[in-house]
Structure 1
Amino acid sequence: MARYSKTVIVLHWLMAVLILAAWFTGEGGRHVRENPPVLHFWLGLSVLVLLVPRLAVRLFGGIPAMEAPQRPLLDLAARAGHWVLYGLMLGLPITGWYAAGRLGVPVTFFGLPLPALAASVQGSPGWVAEVHETGGTVVLWLAGLHVAMALWHQFVLRDGTLSRMSPV
């Protein structure tokens, strides 16, 4: 079974670590106005930046083809699951950036101040902030399912799928 390129493997694992770290460094509620989670912002925006080359590689044929797909529903679920994860990797940083603007919290990335995506408000930042918070939990559940499926392929189906993305 063909392996992913080293570039894809590095992006995959780096983004996985960044997403997990972003979840652990996230804070909600009124604390964000008084003590912005700068590390959380940096981690989330890093995911957004790295998503561009990751999608480019995926869209322009930089991933190995599935070998003789025999389970059409599982193959469809795998493709759909990947695209949902990509959507969350795009949507979560943008909704977080938007929510920061609504809270009046400046966002910087590597020292570069970024423009607010929304006007500041005095009260609640609104439903987009709630979508961001819920999406953060959803992405972890989906990533957990992604891991479980990779382990299932490796140890139950014994088809070598996990070895395609192994860093070693």
Structure 2
Amino acid sequence: MAKLGIQRYTNTLIVLHWLTALCVVVAWFLGEGGRHIRENPPIWHFAFGLAVLVLLVPRLVARLVGGAPPPEPHDAPLLRLAAKVGHATLYAFLIAMPLSGWYAASALGVPVTLWGVTLPALTAPVPQPPGLVAELHSNGGTVLLVLAGLHGLMALYHHFVLKDDTLRRMTPA
């Protein structure tokens, strides 16, 4: 049971956080690459990957309008800086991964659909593999999963070692 007086994230941000995490993990497991992608596009990978981007918009808006509580008051300045850098890096990957995947699919000439709606191509199809962007997307997915894991480990560190309320602030009440 949570302590009284914990400054929590809003319910909206909590739901968006955990839905985003779920979409990232599912998209990673459904990711496929290689030459066969033109003939058999990973539609579910596209759907969950683009859902990350769709969820990010209300998430950023909710944070900007005050949905995030202030940092723990006793956190050391270096820990606060690390949290800011870590969150900024995660957000950058949450934006870059869906966009780079969409771009790579467009370069392959693979239509990208989200819930039955075909999205416009981000680039013209090319006869050769899309190269660097596709490679960055493929490897970036794993990096994003590692970063998310480190994010989770830091939450556990706060909870079990520092014994503060950081983790409780992002768990459902």
TM range (shorter): over 0.9
AA paired with 1:54?
R
**1:86 equivalent in alignment to 2:98:** no
Please state whether the residue corresponding to 2:46 is helix, strand or coil.
helix
Letter in 2 for 1:149: M
Residue in 1 that maps onto 2:111: 106
Quick one: which of 115, 123, 131 aligns to 2:128? 123
Residue 74, structure 1, aligned to residue 79, structure 2: yes
Aligned counterpart, 1:26: 31
* Correspondence for 2:47: 42
Pairwise CA distance, 1:61: 1.8
Gap runs ≥5 in structure 2: 1-5
* 2:38 counterpart SS class: helix
The 3-state SS of whatever aligns with 2:67 is coil
Detail structure 1 runs of 4+ shifted over 3 Å in the superposition: none
> What is the 5 A alignment of 1:41-60?
41-60=46-65
Deviation (angstroms), 1:31 = 1.9
- Tell me the C-alpha RMSD between the 2 structures: 1.0
Name the SS for the 2:72 alignment partner: coil
Normalising by the residue count of structure 2, what TM-score does the alignment of the two structures yield? 0.94
What SS is found at the alignment partner of 2:118? strand
Same amino acid, percent of matched pairs: 60
Contact 1:69 1:75 in 2 (8 A): no
Q: CA deviation at 1:156?
A: 0.7
- Partner letter of residue 105 of structure 1? V
1:63 counterpart (63, 68, 75): 68
CA apart distance, 1:5: 0.8
Corresponding pairs, count: 168
TM-score (norm 1): 0.97
Q: Name stretches of at least 5 consecutive residues in structure 1 with no aligned partner.
A: none
